[in-house]
Amino acid sequence: MVISYHREYGPIGVVFALMSFFIAMGMVIILGAVTGMMWHDRGMSFRAAVTKLRSSS
């Protein structure tokens, strides 16, 4: 991605490629933290989730 952006847009393309990568990684980290907090607040564990999934099937 960096190389192709560099060929198309020059040095500013590299900056855009890196910014896109860092924004995407930040979103993954933030969404993971939010999901973990919700999971913890609801008092769920992996075992409870599997048990709940099996009982609904």
Kindly tell me if the per-residue pLDDT of 56 is higher than 80.
no
pTM summary value:
0.66
Nearest to 16 by CA among 4, 27, 28: 4
Round to whole Å and give the CA distance between 8 and 30. 31
The angle that helices 11-41 and 2-9 make with each other, rounded to 10 degrees, is 140
pLDDT of residue 57: 63
pLDDT, tens only, 1-53: 888 988 999 999 999 999 999 999 999 999 999 999 988 888 878 787 788 88
Contact 26, 15 (CB under 8 A): no
Round to whole Å and give the CA distance between 5 and 8. 5
Domains held by the chain: number: 1
Could you give phi then psi for residue 43, rounded to 5 degrees? 70, 30
- Enclosing domain of residue 52: 2-56
